[in-house]
Every structure is written in structure tokens, then in C-alpha cells.
Amino acid sequence: MTHIEVEKQVIKQITPTIAYRNKVQKVTKEIWRKIEREIKERKLPVTVELVGSIAKDTYLQDDMDIDFFICFPTNHTKQIIAKYALSIGKSLLTDTEESYAEHPYIRGYYDNFYVEVVPCYKIENANQKLSAVDRTPLHTKFVIENITPQLKQEVRLFKQFLKGINCYGAEAQIEGFSGYLCEILIIKYKKFKTLLKKASNWKLGGKIVIKKGNYPDFYTPLVFIDPVDSNRNVASALSMEKFDLFIKACNQYLKKPNITFFFPNKIKPWNLKEIRKKIKEKNYKYISIKFSRPEIIDENLYPQVRKATKSVFESCKRFDFKVYDVNYFIDKTSIFIIIKTEKKLLDKTMIHVGPPVDKLENTEDFLKKWQNNPLIVKNPYIKDKRWYVEIKREYRDIFDFLSKEFKNLSLGKHIDKIAKKKYIILKTEDLITEKLRVYWTKYLDGKMSWER
């Protein structure tokens, strides 16, 4: 199929139908009316604004959230505006969950639609903002004023492409492109295909602007200066991993278009026998730390899991263990940090490097430290004008190391509380389970989502 044929087919699938539009419009009006009623009962001096993809008409068929902002005068405290927004949200929505930006907001369900009710301050320009979310109505206004019906279709196409390659969403779990970033990228480049061609040549730290000017520097993989707030980088959530993945996907799609970039085939999990065989062929071993999942929202959970994963990696390296990869797997109840390492044990002894011989003060401390030390195998000696000492290795097996040292690592506020009380170290065979079949299939086959 050609690019045009693929994209026509995608547009047909993702453009909201008249029936779906009518349903969305009906539900949105109902919620808006009920929020207005709740505001009147509480005698609040506020306005209500519909924001996000619904307001901008850039949402996809069967895939969107309804976002309402309750805009307060700036003389109200953050505690007060949060209190009222939460109480209004709880009165209208089911299965509610409180979340937190710079102040709490609430999300839940109304007639099977996912809805957020967010308090903010009513401002006219970004210089007046008291919290980050205050800009959101300005973002909505900017997009509405700068988007055409054709550009909306290009935005939809771009969003679905990102969804297909797992790069859509600025939340902590994804670390990808926000809806607003998608919209302003299309406003900038006009066409989905033009954007992909530009992106295929993006360099690390490249800066994109809609209006020329002098803007601050940001040290992130991609920089897009917010057209409503020149001190903000809209692409700040984009991780290095997703930046690289996106560029790779752009290049491959431009060379060989396929519907699977937008709608990847579902993973067919290998059976456990096949997984066991593949792991054996690779000739590595896998060790995992398993602990309970803390009851916190994803926005807090994922950064802490990444911190814990990095801490495990760095501590293993410090003790000379050869670590080829560290990943994590999270389900509803558990977290696994999974380490790919070599099978053989470390040597019984290790060479510890001391100071240069001409650093007399450091030399004195070094010799004093190792004098009559029970770990010494070979007394301090000089080689190439530097001191060395050969000592017994504390840990030869990464399993023993993690069993004893994991509780001493810095893992993140909520993970620390749970993981250090109770954790299990699992060996390769313990990890070849039904629960991890999809994880192993994705990890071991090495294919991109669009290649499956």
C-alpha cells in the first residue's frame, strides 16, 4: 500500500462518526449543565471551560476524555479551589480518583466517558499564571484559533500514529507526546507526512518555534516553545527512549508504509517452553527483585520505579557485576525489576585501586585503611606509580548481593516503604511464568510494534 492508501484507511477508522459525535455532545452538555448547577448552589464566582481534544475537535473515534476546568478568580487560595473542584467532581462522577498537578483535581466516569474536573485560575495571558494548569484554557484557545478542518484530520492521523508506536501521552507511564504537542506540531508543519519527514532528521535538543524570537534553552531531547508561554517547553515530558523510537518509526514508515504503524497487531504470547528455549539460547541469566505495588497513582508510581531501576543498575555496576540491561514489569499487584546479567560468578578476589604514590596524605590514609585488614589477599603494592591492594570480594553472585543489599538502596518515597519491608529475589526459572509471558515475548523477539 502507498502512504495515501494507508492514511485514507486510517482516517476512515479514527474520524468520529456522526452518531459518536452526537453522543459526545449530549454527554458533554449534560455534565456542563450539572457543573453549572453545582456552582450555583455553592454560589461560586467562577466560569466553566471545556478544554482538551473535545473542545478542539481533535479527538478520535471511541477514544477521548472530557476535560472541564473550573476557573476561579486569583484571590482564592489553592486549597479552596481544590476543595470545591473535588466536591463538584465527586457529586457528578463515579469511580473517582483524586490526582495531583500543582493542586488536586478529580477524575472519574460519567455514562462510560472518562472525565476530569480541574480547578484553575482565570487568566488572560501566561504571565498571570499562578499554577501550571492555568495555561490550559489558553492552549485550547490557541489551537481553536489556528486549526482548520483539514488540520484536525492531520492531527488525528498523527495521534493514531503515536498511539500505534506507544509514544502518545505525556503522562509518566508513557513519557511521550501530549495531545497539545501533537496539535501545535501539525499547526507548525501543516501535514502529517511533512512532520514525519522533518522529524526523521531531528537532532538531539533541536528547538522548534511557531514565531521567531529569543527563547530560553531547555536541555531535553526535543524542545518546542509553547506559543502561549515562551518560558515553557511543551516537549519536556518526552524521554530519550521515546524520542529515539519516534524518529526510528518515522524513518521506517516513510520507507515502507503499513497500517500496523497505526494499528499494530496484538502480541501473540509465546508458550513457556518457547520462552525457556529462547532464554537458554541467549546464554544470559536473569535476576529479578519482586515486591508489592504501592497504592499510588501512575504519575507518582512510574518515576519511582524508574528511579529504583536506575539505583539497582548503578549499585550492581559498583560491585563489578556485568549488567547488560535492566527493565521493569508492573501489574495490578506486583512490580518486578528484571536484570540481564552474565551467568558466571565474579572472581574470588579483586584489585582495589589506590592513590598515586606522590599523594602522600592519601597514601597514608590508604595504607592505614588496609593495614591488617581481614579482606586482604595481597598487601598494598606499587604499580605504574600508583598504589594497589588485592582483596577478597564481598559478593561473587548477584543473587546474594541483591538479597542483602537491595534494602539499602534509594528507591523512591513510596517504594522504599513497601519494598524494603518485603521483597523476593527471583532467578531465571522463577521468572518463566504465565504472568510474564507477554513481557518475555516482547523482550525476546526484539521486534518493533509495527513489525509484529
CATH number of domain containing 366? 3.30.70.1550
Whole-number pLDDT of residue 254: 97
Asked whether residue 12 is assigned to any structural domain, the reply reads no
- 355, 363, 366 from 359: Cα distances, Å: 7, 6, 10
339 pLDDT more than 90: yes
Domain CATH for 218: 1.10.1410.30
Does 7 fall in a domain?
A: no
Q: Are residue 339 and residue 426 in the same domain, yes or no?
A: yes
Q: Pick from 142, 158, 189: which residue ends a domain?
A: 142
pLDDT of residue 244: 97
Residue 242, pLDDT score = 97
User: How confident is the model at residue 161, as a pLDDT?
Assistant: 98
In a domain, 2, yes or no: no
Over range 339-360, report the average pLDDT. 92
Section 59-85 average pLDDT: 92
User: Domain containing 339 — which CATH number?
Assistant: 3.30.70.590
138-176: per-residue pLDDT in tens? 999 999 999 999 999 999 999 999 999 999 999 999 999
94 confidence band (pLDDT: 50, 70, 90):
very high
Whole-number pLDDT of residue 372:
85
The answer to whether position 11 is within a domain reads no
pLDDT score for 100:
75
Number of domains observed in the structure of the chain: 4
Domain extent at residue 189: 147-264
Confirm whether 358 is domain-assigned: yes
Is 161 domain-assigned?
A: yes
Joined together, the cell numbers standing for residue 374 give 581481614
Q: Give tens-digit pLDDT for 107-148.
A: 999 998 999 999 999 999 888 888 889 999 999 999 999 999
Mean pLDDT, residues 353-379: 90
Q: Are residues 191 and 291 in the same domain?
A: no
> Which distant-in-sequence residues (6+ apart) come within 8 Å of 165 by Cβ?
245, 246, 249, 261, 264, 448, 449, 450
Residue 163 falls inside a structural domain? yes
Q: Please write the tens of the pLDDT for every residue from 219-230.
A: 999 999 999 999
What's the confidence (pLDDT) of residue 411?
Answer: 86
| Alpha-carbon distance values, 10 to 14, 166, 180, 255, 328 (Å) | 6, 16, 21, 18, 32
Residues 105 and 213 in one domain: no
Check residue 128 and give its pLDDT: 87
| Residue 130 sits in the same domain as residue 223 | no
> Which tens digit of pLDDT belongs to each residue from 2-39?
999 999 999 999 999 999 999 999 999 999 999 999 99
Cell numbers at residue 350, please?
Answer: 579483586
Q: What is the CATH number of the domain that holds 71?
A: 3.30.460.10
Domain boundary among 264, 297, 320: 264
- Give φ, ψ of 295 to 5 degrees: -85, 75
Q: Is residue 163 classed as helix, strand or coil in its secondary structure?
A: helix
Residues 242 and 387 in one domain: no
Within 147-239, residue ranges assigned H as helices are 149-164, 179-189, 192-199
Q: Is the pLDDT of residue 102 over 80?
A: no
One domain for residues 201 and 246 = yes
CA dihedral 122, 125, 126, 131 (to 10 degrees): -10
- In a shared domain, residues 400 and 388: no
| Domain boundary pick from 115, 142, 169 | 142
Q: How confident is the model at residue 299 (pLDDT cuts 50, 70, 90)?
A: confident
Q: Are residues 245 and 172 in the same domain?
A: yes
Are 70 and 101 within one domain? Answer: yes
| Same domain (yes/no): 306, 432 | yes
CA-CA distance, 289 to 268, in Å (whole number)? 26
Percentage of the chain lying above the pLDDT 70 cut: 100
pLDDT band at 84 (very low <50, low <70, confident <90, very high): very high
Q: Is the pLDDT of residue 1 over 80?
A: yes
pTM for the predicted model, two decimal places: 0.91
pLDDT category at 101 given cuts 50, 70, 90 is low
Both 83 and 161 in a single domain? no
Bridge partner list, 109: 94, 114
pLDDT, position 300: 87
CA separation for the pair 242, 6 (Å, rounded): 23
Which tens digits make up the pLDDT trace of 234-291? 999 999 999 999 999 999 999 999 999 999 999 999 999 999 999 998 889 999 999 9
Contact 234, 180 (CB under 8 A): yes
| Residues whose CB is less than 8 angstroms from the CB of residue 67 and which lie 6 or more positions away in sequence, other chains included | 50, 51, 52, 54, 55, 115, 116, 118, 136
Q: Is the pLDDT of residue 48 over 70?
A: yes
One domain for residues 153 and 255: yes
Report which of 393, 414, 284, 301 is spatially closest to residue 339, judged by C-alpha positions.
284
Dihedral (C-alpha) 55, 59, 64, 70: value to the nearest 10 degrees?
A: -10
| pLDDT at residue 421 greater than cutoff 90 | no
Mean pLDDT of the chain: 93
Q: Which residue has the cell 579482606?
A: 375
Please compute the mean of the pLDDT values over residues 437-444 and round it to a whole number.
95
Q: Is residue 156 part of a domain?
A: yes
Query: What's the rounded mean pLDDT across residues 200-212?
Result: 94
* Rounded Cα distance, 65 and 210, in Å: 27
* Span 231-242, pLDDT tens digits: 999 999 999 999
